[in-house]
Amino acid sequence: MSEREQSVAQRAAANQEKSPVTRVFSGMQPSGELHLGNWLGALKNWVAMQDRYPCIFSVVDLHALTQTSDPDEMKARIRDMAMGWLAAGIDPEKCTVFVQSTVPEHAELSWVLTTLTPMGLLERMTQFKDKARSQAENVNVGLFSYPVLQAADITIYRADGVPVGEDQVQHVEFTRDLVRKFNLKYGKVFPEPRALLTSSPRVMGVDGDRKMSKSLGNHIGLNDSADVLWKKLAPAKTDVRRVRRTDPGVPEECNIYKYHGFFSTADERAWAAEGCRSAGIGCRQCKEVVAKNINAVLEPMRERRAGLEAHPGRVDEILHEGTKKLLPLARETMGRVRDAMGIPNRGRYGIGEDR
Ligand code: TYM
Protein backbone atom coordinates (compact mmCIF):
# COMPACT_ATOMS: atom_id res chain seq x y z
CA MET A 1 0.00 0.00 0.00
CA SER A 2 1.39 3.44 -0.89
CA GLU A 3 1.75 6.13 1.79
CA ARG A 4 -1.19 8.02 0.33
CA GLU A 5 -3.39 4.90 0.28
CA GLN A 6 -2.45 4.19 3.89
CA SER A 7 -3.39 7.67 5.04
CA VAL A 8 -6.74 7.49 3.20
CA ALA A 9 -7.43 4.06 4.73
CA GLN A 10 -6.57 5.43 8.19
CA ARG A 11 -8.86 8.41 7.71
CA ALA A 12 -11.67 6.15 6.51
CA ALA A 13 -11.24 3.90 9.55
CA ALA A 14 -11.14 6.90 11.90
CA ASN A 15 -14.33 8.23 10.31
CA GLN A 16 -16.18 4.98 11.02
CA GLU A 17 -15.28 5.18 14.71
CA LYS A 18 -16.62 8.67 15.28
CA SER A 19 -20.10 9.57 16.48
CA PRO A 20 -22.99 8.44 14.29
CA VAL A 21 -24.00 10.44 11.24
CA THR A 22 -27.35 12.24 11.49
CA ARG A 23 -27.73 13.70 7.98
CA VAL A 24 -25.86 12.99 4.76
CA PHE A 25 -25.22 15.42 1.91
CA SER A 26 -23.26 14.90 -1.27
CA GLY A 27 -23.20 16.20 -4.82
CA MET A 28 -21.80 15.68 -8.28
CA GLN A 29 -21.13 18.12 -11.06
CA PRO A 30 -23.17 17.58 -14.21
CA SER A 31 -20.04 17.87 -16.28
CA GLY A 32 -20.02 14.53 -18.05
CA GLU A 33 -21.24 10.97 -17.99
CA LEU A 34 -20.97 8.94 -14.78
CA HIS A 35 -18.11 6.46 -14.65
CA LEU A 36 -16.78 3.64 -12.49
CA GLY A 37 -14.72 6.11 -10.43
CA ASN A 38 -17.90 7.99 -9.44
CA TRP A 39 -19.61 4.71 -8.67
CA LEU A 40 -16.86 3.08 -6.60
CA GLY A 41 -15.73 6.30 -4.89
CA ALA A 42 -19.14 7.76 -4.01
CA LEU A 43 -22.36 6.63 -5.67
CA LYS A 44 -22.16 3.07 -4.33
CA ASN A 45 -21.93 4.53 -0.84
CA TRP A 46 -24.90 6.84 -1.50
CA VAL A 47 -27.03 3.85 -2.48
CA ALA A 48 -26.03 2.03 0.72
CA MET A 49 -26.53 5.09 2.92
CA GLN A 50 -30.04 5.93 1.75
CA ASP A 51 -31.25 2.93 3.78
CA ARG A 52 -29.47 4.09 6.94
CA TYR A 53 -29.60 7.91 7.11
CA PRO A 54 -31.62 10.87 5.88
CA CYS A 55 -29.73 11.61 2.65
CA ILE A 56 -29.69 14.59 0.30
CA PHE A 57 -28.02 14.31 -3.11
CA SER A 58 -27.53 17.30 -5.37
CA VAL A 59 -26.74 17.84 -9.03
CA VAL A 60 -24.42 20.79 -8.44
CA ASP A 61 -25.06 22.89 -11.53
CA LEU A 62 -23.69 26.13 -10.00
CA HIS A 63 -20.36 24.41 -9.53
CA ALA A 64 -20.42 23.21 -13.13
CA LEU A 65 -20.75 26.83 -14.32
CA THR A 66 -17.11 27.35 -13.34
CA GLN A 67 -16.25 25.37 -16.46
CA THR A 68 -17.33 26.61 -19.85
CA SER A 69 -20.75 25.30 -20.65
CA ASP A 70 -23.38 25.46 -23.32
CA PRO A 71 -26.96 26.19 -22.02
CA ASP A 72 -28.61 23.34 -23.95
CA GLU A 73 -25.89 20.95 -22.93
CA MET A 74 -26.25 22.03 -19.31
CA LYS A 75 -29.98 21.23 -19.32
CA ALA A 76 -29.39 17.82 -20.85
CA ARG A 77 -26.54 16.99 -18.51
CA ILE A 78 -28.50 17.84 -15.37
CA ARG A 79 -31.27 15.42 -16.30
CA ASP A 80 -28.77 12.86 -17.51
CA MET A 81 -26.92 12.89 -14.21
CA ALA A 82 -30.10 12.45 -12.18
CA MET A 83 -31.09 9.60 -14.49
CA GLY A 84 -27.71 7.96 -13.96
CA TRP A 85 -28.15 8.09 -10.19
CA LEU A 86 -31.63 6.58 -10.35
CA ALA A 87 -30.36 3.88 -12.70
CA ALA A 88 -27.58 3.12 -10.21
CA GLY A 89 -30.09 2.51 -7.43
CA ILE A 90 -30.80 5.91 -5.87
CA ASP A 91 -34.42 5.74 -4.73
CA PRO A 92 -36.33 9.03 -4.36
CA GLU A 93 -38.66 7.28 -1.88
CA LYS A 94 -35.70 6.86 0.47
CA CYS A 95 -33.69 10.04 -0.09
CA THR A 96 -33.93 13.53 -1.58
CA VAL A 97 -32.54 14.35 -5.00
CA PHE A 98 -32.52 17.90 -6.40
CA VAL A 99 -30.66 20.50 -8.47
CA GLN A 100 -28.46 22.86 -6.44
CA SER A 101 -29.43 26.15 -8.12
CA THR A 102 -33.13 25.62 -7.38
CA VAL A 103 -32.44 26.28 -3.69
CA PRO A 104 -31.03 29.83 -3.72
CA GLU A 105 -29.91 29.63 -0.09
CA HIS A 106 -26.82 27.71 -1.24
CA ALA A 107 -25.52 30.84 -2.97
CA GLU A 108 -26.64 33.07 -0.09
CA LEU A 109 -24.82 31.05 2.56
CA SER A 110 -21.83 30.75 0.27
CA TRP A 111 -21.42 34.54 0.35
CA VAL A 112 -21.62 34.57 4.14
CA LEU A 113 -18.96 31.88 4.34
CA THR A 114 -16.61 33.70 1.96
CA THR A 115 -16.38 36.45 4.57
CA LEU A 116 -14.83 33.90 6.95
CA THR A 117 -12.47 32.39 4.39
CA PRO A 118 -8.82 33.44 4.22
CA MET A 119 -7.58 33.76 0.61
CA GLY A 120 -4.53 31.70 1.54
CA LEU A 121 -6.66 28.65 2.38
CA LEU A 122 -8.28 28.67 -1.04
CA GLU A 123 -4.95 29.17 -2.77
CA ARG A 124 -3.81 25.86 -1.28
CA MET A 125 -6.70 23.80 -2.67
CA THR A 126 -5.36 21.07 -4.93
CA GLN A 127 -8.42 21.02 -7.18
CA PHE A 128 -8.13 24.76 -7.80
CA LYS A 129 -4.47 24.43 -8.72
CA ASP A 130 -5.23 21.52 -11.08
CA LYS A 131 -8.17 23.29 -12.72
CA ALA A 132 -6.26 26.55 -13.06
CA ARG A 133 -3.69 24.58 -15.05
CA SER A 134 -6.13 22.54 -17.13
CA GLN A 135 -8.40 25.49 -18.03
CA ALA A 136 -5.81 28.25 -18.03
CA GLU A 137 -7.93 30.31 -20.43
CA ASN A 138 -10.81 30.47 -17.91
CA VAL A 139 -9.51 30.87 -14.34
CA ASN A 140 -12.65 32.59 -13.02
CA VAL A 141 -13.37 33.74 -9.46
CA GLY A 142 -15.99 30.96 -9.16
CA LEU A 143 -13.28 28.40 -9.68
CA PHE A 144 -11.31 29.98 -6.85
CA SER A 145 -14.21 30.17 -4.38
CA TYR A 146 -15.62 26.79 -5.47
CA PRO A 147 -14.87 25.09 -2.11
CA VAL A 148 -16.84 27.79 -0.26
CA LEU A 149 -19.96 26.99 -2.29
CA GLN A 150 -19.31 23.32 -1.55
CA ALA A 151 -19.12 24.17 2.16
CA ALA A 152 -22.45 26.00 1.84
CA ASP A 153 -24.01 22.95 0.13
CA ILE A 154 -23.19 20.84 3.15
CA THR A 155 -23.90 23.35 5.91
CA ILE A 156 -27.19 24.73 4.55
CA TYR A 157 -28.72 21.35 5.50
CA ARG A 158 -26.58 21.03 8.65
CA ALA A 159 -25.31 17.72 7.28
CA ASP A 160 -22.55 15.90 9.13
CA GLY A 161 -21.74 12.99 6.77
CA VAL A 162 -20.34 13.60 3.29
CA PRO A 163 -19.77 10.49 1.14
CA VAL A 164 -17.13 11.41 -1.46
CA GLY A 165 -14.04 10.09 -3.19
CA GLU A 166 -10.54 10.91 -1.99
CA ASP A 167 -10.14 13.97 -4.24
CA GLN A 168 -12.91 15.75 -2.30
CA VAL A 169 -11.57 15.09 1.21
CA GLN A 170 -9.62 18.36 1.21
CA HIS A 171 -12.84 20.28 0.48
CA VAL A 172 -14.69 18.55 3.31
CA GLU A 173 -11.84 19.28 5.71
CA PHE A 174 -11.95 22.90 4.54
CA THR A 175 -15.71 22.90 5.31
CA ARG A 176 -15.00 21.62 8.81
CA ASP A 177 -12.50 24.45 9.36
CA LEU A 178 -15.09 27.01 8.26
CA VAL A 179 -17.76 25.48 10.50
CA ARG A 180 -15.45 25.66 13.51
CA LYS A 181 -14.65 29.27 12.70
CA PHE A 182 -18.31 30.22 12.27
CA ASN A 183 -19.45 28.43 15.46
CA LEU A 184 -16.65 30.00 17.48
CA LYS A 185 -17.40 33.50 16.26
CA TYR A 186 -21.21 33.46 16.13
CA GLY A 187 -22.35 30.54 18.32
CA LYS A 188 -23.01 26.96 17.35
CA VAL A 189 -25.22 26.73 14.27
CA PHE A 190 -23.56 23.93 12.29
CA PRO A 191 -22.39 20.39 13.12
CA GLU A 192 -18.85 19.52 12.01
CA PRO A 193 -19.08 17.42 8.84
CA ARG A 194 -16.74 14.60 7.92
CA ALA A 195 -15.91 12.78 4.71
CA LEU A 196 -17.17 9.20 4.41
CA LEU A 197 -14.98 7.15 2.11
CA THR A 198 -15.51 3.81 0.43
CA SER A 199 -12.81 1.13 0.31
CA SER A 200 -12.03 2.40 -3.22
CA PRO A 201 -11.68 6.17 -2.76
CA ARG A 202 -9.34 6.66 -5.74
CA VAL A 203 -9.99 4.57 -8.82
CA MET A 204 -7.40 4.74 -11.57
CA GLY A 205 -8.36 5.04 -15.22
CA VAL A 206 -7.79 2.37 -17.88
CA ASP A 207 -4.48 4.11 -18.68
CA GLY A 208 -3.34 2.89 -15.25
CA ASP A 209 -1.54 6.22 -14.71
CA ARG A 210 -4.12 8.75 -13.62
CA LYS A 211 -7.33 8.94 -11.63
CA MET A 212 -10.32 7.81 -13.68
CA SER A 213 -11.97 10.92 -15.10
CA LYS A 214 -14.21 11.79 -18.01
CA SER A 215 -12.05 14.73 -18.99
CA LEU A 216 -8.98 12.51 -19.29
CA GLY A 217 -10.84 10.02 -21.49
CA ASN A 218 -9.57 7.09 -19.39
CA HIS A 219 -12.97 6.15 -17.98
CA ILE A 220 -15.48 3.32 -18.20
CA GLY A 221 -18.96 4.84 -18.29
CA LEU A 222 -21.80 3.39 -16.21
CA ASN A 223 -23.84 3.45 -19.38
CA ASP A 224 -21.22 1.83 -21.62
CA SER A 225 -22.44 -1.23 -23.52
CA ALA A 226 -20.60 -4.55 -23.12
CA ASP A 227 -18.90 -3.87 -26.48
CA VAL A 228 -17.69 -0.41 -25.54
CA LEU A 229 -16.51 -1.71 -22.17
CA TRP A 230 -14.41 -4.38 -23.86
CA LYS A 231 -12.99 -1.87 -26.38
CA LYS A 232 -11.72 0.13 -23.40
CA LEU A 233 -10.53 -2.80 -21.30
CA ALA A 234 -8.75 -4.79 -24.03
CA PRO A 235 -5.97 -2.20 -24.56
CA ALA A 236 -5.93 -1.13 -20.86
CA LYS A 237 -2.55 -1.01 -19.19
CA THR A 238 -1.40 -4.01 -17.12
CA ASP A 239 1.83 -4.74 -15.24
CA VAL A 240 4.68 -3.48 -17.46
CA ARG A 241 6.66 -6.68 -16.76
CA ARG A 242 4.22 -8.73 -18.83
CA VAL A 243 5.56 -7.83 -22.23
CA ARG A 244 5.06 -11.34 -23.64
CA ARG A 245 2.45 -13.93 -22.63
CA THR A 246 5.23 -16.00 -20.99
CA ASP A 247 6.57 -13.13 -18.83
CA PRO A 248 5.48 -13.40 -15.16
CA GLY A 249 4.04 -10.28 -13.50
CA VAL A 250 3.41 -8.72 -10.09
CA PRO A 251 -0.39 -8.51 -9.64
CA GLU A 252 -0.17 -5.92 -6.87
CA GLU A 253 1.34 -3.54 -9.41
CA CYS A 254 -1.31 -4.13 -12.04
CA ASN A 255 -4.29 -1.81 -12.37
CA ILE A 256 -6.45 -4.60 -13.78
CA TYR A 257 -5.77 -6.63 -10.65
CA LYS A 258 -7.07 -3.63 -8.67
CA TYR A 259 -10.27 -3.84 -10.72
CA HIS A 260 -10.47 -7.52 -9.71
CA GLY A 261 -10.32 -6.24 -6.13
CA PHE A 262 -13.44 -4.13 -6.77
CA PHE A 263 -15.51 -6.57 -8.79
CA SER A 264 -14.32 -10.19 -8.48
CA THR A 265 -14.83 -12.99 -5.99
CA ALA A 266 -12.02 -14.13 -3.67
CA ASP A 267 -11.52 -17.25 -5.82
CA GLU A 268 -11.25 -15.19 -9.01
CA ARG A 269 -8.77 -12.84 -7.36
CA ALA A 270 -6.62 -15.78 -6.22
CA TRP A 271 -6.79 -17.25 -9.75
CA ALA A 272 -5.74 -13.92 -11.29
CA ALA A 273 -2.89 -13.37 -8.81
CA GLU A 274 -1.47 -16.87 -9.20
CA GLY A 275 -1.90 -16.87 -12.98
CA CYS A 276 -0.15 -13.51 -13.26
CA ARG A 277 2.79 -14.47 -11.04
CA SER A 278 3.36 -17.77 -12.84
CA ALA A 279 2.46 -16.49 -16.32
CA GLY A 280 -0.13 -19.27 -16.28
CA ILE A 281 -2.72 -16.91 -17.76
CA GLY A 282 -2.45 -14.05 -20.24
CA CYS A 283 -3.57 -10.48 -19.53
CA ARG A 284 -6.43 -10.89 -21.98
CA GLN A 285 -7.84 -13.85 -20.04
CA CYS A 286 -7.49 -11.90 -16.84
CA LYS A 287 -9.35 -8.93 -18.36
CA GLU A 288 -12.15 -11.12 -19.68
CA VAL A 289 -13.08 -12.07 -16.12
CA VAL A 290 -12.99 -8.43 -15.01
CA ALA A 291 -15.20 -7.49 -17.98
CA LYS A 292 -17.70 -10.23 -17.09
CA ASN A 293 -17.91 -8.96 -13.51
CA ILE A 294 -18.18 -5.28 -14.44
CA ASN A 295 -20.93 -6.17 -16.90
CA ALA A 296 -22.80 -7.98 -14.13
CA VAL A 297 -22.83 -4.70 -12.14
CA LEU A 298 -23.64 -2.47 -15.12
CA GLU A 299 -26.36 -4.59 -16.73
CA PRO A 300 -29.12 -3.81 -14.19
CA MET A 301 -28.14 -0.11 -14.43
CA ARG A 302 -28.40 -0.20 -18.24
CA GLU A 303 -31.84 -1.78 -17.96
CA ARG A 304 -33.13 0.71 -15.39
CA ARG A 305 -31.74 3.54 -17.45
CA ALA A 306 -33.54 2.40 -20.58
CA GLY A 307 -36.78 2.45 -18.56
CA LEU A 308 -36.10 5.98 -17.30
CA GLU A 309 -35.21 7.30 -20.74
CA ALA A 310 -38.71 6.38 -21.83
CA HIS A 311 -40.11 8.74 -19.12
CA PRO A 312 -37.84 11.80 -18.84
CA GLY A 313 -40.70 13.83 -17.33
CA ARG A 314 -40.66 11.54 -14.29
CA VAL A 315 -37.03 12.51 -13.60
CA ASP A 316 -37.92 16.22 -13.74
CA GLU A 317 -40.77 15.58 -11.31
CA ILE A 318 -38.45 13.82 -8.86
CA LEU A 319 -36.03 16.76 -8.97
CA HIS A 320 -38.86 19.23 -8.47
CA GLU A 321 -40.20 17.29 -5.47
CA GLY A 322 -36.71 17.31 -3.99
CA THR A 323 -36.49 21.11 -4.17
CA LYS A 324 -39.91 21.53 -2.59
CA LYS A 325 -38.92 19.29 0.29
CA LEU A 326 -35.61 21.06 0.93
CA LEU A 327 -36.56 24.74 0.70
CA PRO A 328 -38.01 24.96 4.25
CA LEU A 329 -34.90 23.39 5.80
CA ALA A 330 -32.58 25.69 3.83
CA ARG A 331 -34.63 28.75 4.86
CA GLU A 332 -34.58 27.67 8.45
CA THR A 333 -30.80 27.40 8.45
CA MET A 334 -30.45 30.83 6.82
CA GLY A 335 -32.77 32.21 9.51
CA ARG A 336 -30.47 30.85 12.20
CA VAL A 337 -27.41 32.23 10.39
CA ARG A 338 -29.01 35.66 10.06
CA ASP A 339 -29.93 35.69 13.75
CA ALA A 340 -26.46 34.56 14.78
CA MET A 341 -24.74 37.21 12.65
CA GLY A 342 -27.07 40.08 13.50
CA ILE A 343 -28.41 40.59 9.97
CA PRO A 344 -32.18 40.94 9.56
CA ASN A 345 -34.53 38.05 9.07
CA ARG A 346 -36.91 38.77 6.21
CA GLY A 347 -39.79 37.20 8.19
CA ARG A 348 -39.53 39.96 10.77
CA TYR A 349 -40.27 42.56 8.10
CA GLY A 350 -43.24 40.63 6.78
CA ILE A 351 -41.43 39.97 3.49
CA GLY A 352 -41.31 36.21 3.81
CA GLU A 353 -40.87 33.36 6.23
CA ASP A 354 -37.34 32.47 7.18
CA ARG A 355 -38.30 30.11 9.93
P1 TYM B 1 -17.21 15.40 -8.93
O2 TYM B 1 -18.45 15.74 -9.68
O3 TYM B 1 -15.90 15.66 -9.56
O4 TYM B 1 -17.21 13.85 -8.57
C5 TYM B 1 -18.31 13.21 -7.99
C6 TYM B 1 -17.87 12.19 -6.96
O7 TYM B 1 -17.14 11.12 -7.55
C8 TYM B 1 -15.89 10.95 -6.88
N9 TYM B 1 -14.89 10.53 -7.88
C10 TYM B 1 -14.04 9.50 -7.71
N11 TYM B 1 -13.87 8.65 -6.68
C12 TYM B 1 -12.92 7.70 -6.83
N13 TYM B 1 -12.14 7.57 -7.94
C14 TYM B 1 -12.29 8.40 -8.98
N15 TYM B 1 -11.53 8.25 -10.07
C16 TYM B 1 -13.27 9.43 -8.89
N17 TYM B 1 -13.66 10.42 -9.74
C18 TYM B 1 -14.66 11.09 -9.09
C19 TYM B 1 -15.58 12.33 -6.32
O20 TYM B 1 -14.67 12.26 -5.25
C21 TYM B 1 -16.96 12.79 -5.90
O22 TYM B 1 -17.31 12.27 -4.62
N23 TYM B 1 -16.82 19.16 -5.73
C24 TYM B 1 -17.55 17.93 -5.98
C25 TYM B 1 -19.05 18.11 -6.06
C26 TYM B 1 -19.67 18.77 -4.87
C27 TYM B 1 -19.86 18.18 -3.59
C28 TYM B 1 -20.53 19.18 -2.81
C29 TYM B 1 -19.54 16.95 -3.04
C30 TYM B 1 -20.17 20.02 -4.82
N31 TYM B 1 -20.70 20.28 -3.58
C32 TYM B 1 -20.86 18.95 -1.48
C33 TYM B 1 -19.88 16.73 -1.70
C34 TYM B 1 -20.53 17.73 -0.94
C35 TYM B 1 -17.06 17.38 -7.31
O36 TYM B 1 -16.59 18.09 -8.15
O37 TYM B 1 -17.28 16.06 -7.48
Q: What is the pLDDT of residues 129-139, one digit of tens each?
A: 999 999 999 99
Q: Active site includes 214?
A: yes
The per-residue pLDDT for range 301-333, each reduced to its tens digit, is 999 999 999 998 999 999 999 999 999 999 999
Helices (H), 124-265: 126-134, 141-155, 169-186, 226-233, 255-263
What is the 125 CA–ligand 1 centroid distance (Å)?
A: 14
Catalytic residue among 181, 214, 237, 258: 214
CATH number of 3-203+312-341: 3.40.50.620
Looking at residue 8, its pLDDT comes to 56
Q: Are 339 and 186 in contact (CB under 8 A)?
A: no
Nearest-CA residue for ligand 1 atom 27 is: 27
All CATH 1.10.240.10 domain ranges of the chain, comma separated, are 226-310
The per-residue pLDDT for range 145-201, each reduced to its tens digit, is 999 999 999 999 999 999 999 999 999 999 999 999 999 999 999 999 999 999 999
Nearest-CA residue for ligand 1 atom 1 is: 28
Q: What is the 3-state secondary structure (H, E, C) of 208-245?
A: CCCECCHHHCCCCECCCCHHHHHHHHCCCCCCCCCCCC
Identify the residues whose C-beta falls under 6 Å from ligand 1: 25-29, 37-38, 40-42, 60, 63, 150, 153-154, 162, 164-165, 167-168, 171, 201-203, 211-213
Task: Indicate the SS3 state at residue 157.
Answer: coil
Looking at residue 19, its pLDDT comes to 76
Q: Active site includes 324?
A: no
All CATH 3.40.50.620 domain ranges of the chain, comma separated, are 3-203+312-341
Backbone angles phi, psi at 337, to 5 degrees: -65, -45
Q: 237-274: b or e for each residue (b if 16 or more CB lie within 10 Å)? A: bbbeebeeeeeebebeebbbbbbbebbbeeebbebbbe
CATH class entry, domain 226-310:
mainly alpha
Q: What's this model's pTM, rounded to 2 decimal places?
A: 0.94
Q: Active site includes 131?
A: yes
